[in-house]
Amino acid sequence: MTMGIRSARPPQPTLEMVAAAAGVSRATVSRVVNGSPKVRQEVVDSVNAAIEQLNYVPNRAARSLASHHTQSVALVVPEDMTKFFGDPYFAAVVQGITQRLDESDYTLNLLVASSDPRHKTMRYLRSGNVDGAIVISHHTGDDFVANLETTMPVVFGGRPTNHSGPDNYFVDVDNVAGAISGVQHLINLGRHRIGTITGPVDMPAGIDRLNGFRHALAAAGLESDAVEHADFTAAGAAAATRRLLEHSPHVDALFVASDLMAVGTMGVLAEQGRSVPGDIAVVSFDDSPAATSGPISLTTVSQPSKEMGFAMADLLLRLLAGDETVPHHNFMPTRLVFRDSA
């Protein structure tokens, strides 16, 4: 009987083989594979070249068992699913987050939940399924994420609400200063009866933009009582705009706390025959695609949403890599973008 001879498989590339090929230590290769920021760029390039040459594939499952790490992070969004997919702000932030994670070995788990009555989200997060989390669009009543940072590294997108202590990590813009710049532009145009459609007052962004509105008007000696609250949606802003025009019909300008809300506001102004910017000048906030989606492009306070997402992910990866120099409070600049509405 003829016996077949099975050819030996070539050995699978190992971390040690990559280290030898790159002329570095095993620990350095591990740091590069895990996206550590503590490795010089020329060393990163050398290791990545060795990985490509050897066709090395990190064994995620084995590494997870050995290190108790999952190589996954969660993006937690305490919002309604429709709102999440309907607001261009979220799309820009997620784009920035994934761009940074693509440079690492981490994958992203998306968790969208406006509430967690059965504690499913928290059970998932606290059961070792992810190594860290990014939380965006959080509200005062989101108790199910309030203590998340006690169990894993967490970076907040936006200043936290109930837990804004010095130990929290977050990326935000100065919403007060941004709102002041938008309202000041309206004042400089000679508008003196200025109203606002606010964001939710259970969110720091909504609160801070309202405070900026009031600060700018107070500094100019103008009244700031033409206020209606909305929910960062076009429909909510449309309803709020109708209410505002009922009790303050003589407003000559509006500061609307997001571009998406301004789309709803502009629709109501068109319905009522109010010209923009002739009768009512409008300034909004975000500089998202919604700002240029209508027949009248919006003058808006621009925040770098994609860059903010990138920074959130970068901070989290640095925390996961043990970087003790990560700054806690990170603010990015805003700027006023001039278009047709004001």
* Half-sphere CA count of 128, side-chain side, radius 13 A: 5
The token pair at 71 is 């190589």
pLDDT-based confidence at residue 261 (cuts at 50, 70, 90) = very high
List Cα–Cα distances, 225 to 194, 237, 251, 276, 285, in angstroms: 9, 17, 11, 21, 20
Look at residue 298 and tell me whether its pLDDT is greater than 90. yes
Of the given ranges (12-21, 80-89, 162-171, 317-326), which has the lowest mean pLDDT? 162-171
The pLDDT of 186-195, averaged and rounded, is 97
**What average pLDDT score do residues 247-252 get?**
96
Q: When comparing pLDDT for 262 and 41, which is higher?
A: 262
Cα–Cα distances in angstroms (integers) from residue 45 to residues 40, 42, 48, in the given order:
9, 5, 5
| Alpha helix ranges (H) inside the chain | 15-22, 26-33, 41-54, 60-67, 81-86, 88-101, 120-126, 175-188, 204-219, 234-247, 259-271, 305-320
Q: How far apart are CA 303 and CA 92, in angstroms?
A: 11
Rounded mean pLDDT, 11-15: 78
Asked if residue 45 has pLDDT above 50, the reply is yes
11-58 in CATH: which number? 1.10.260.40
**9 pLDDT above the threshold of 60:** no
Phi, psi for residue 60 in degrees, rounded to 5: -60, -40
Residue 105 has pLDDT above 60, yes or no: yes
Q: Which backbone phi and psi does 155 adopt, to 5 degrees?
A: -120, 130
Question: Please, which residues bridge with residue 335 across strands?
Answer: 302
The average pLDDT across 121-134 equals 82
pLDDT at position 270 over 80: yes
Q: Residue 313 — very low, low, confident or very high, per pLDDT cuts 50/70/90?
A: very high
Mean pLDDT of 79-83: 80
Domain 72-173+306-333 fold is Rossmann fold (3.40.50)
Please state which architecture CATH assigns to domain 175-303. Answer: 3-Layer(aba) Sandwich (3.40)
AA letter at 313: A
Mean pLDDT score, 68-94: 86
pLDDT exceeds 90 at position 6: no
78 burial level (CB within 10 Å; 0-12, 13-18, 19+): buried
Average of pLDDT values for 136-157?
Answer: 77
Domains 72-173+306-333 and 175-303 share a fold: yes
Which position has the higher pLDDT, 278 or 167? 278
Beta strands in the chain (DSSP E): 72-77, 107-112, 132-136, 154-157, 169-173, 194-198, 227-229, 253-256, 281-286, 299-302, 329-332, 335-337
pLDDT at residue 184 above 70? Answer: yes
The number of C-alpha atoms within 13 Å of 212 and in the hemisphere containing its C-beta is: 28
Q: Where are the domains of the chain?
A: 11-58, 72-173+306-333, 175-303
Query: How much is the average pLDDT of 20-30?
Result: 89
| Measured distance CA(179)–CA(257) in Å, rounded | 8
**Rounded mean pLDDT of the chain?**
87
- Which range among 53-62, 92-101, 231-240, 255-264 shows the weakest confidence by mean pLDDT? 53-62
pLDDT higher than threshold 70 for residue 4: no
8 A C-beta contact, residue 262 and residue 282: yes
Per-residue model confidence (pLDDT) at position 171 = 95
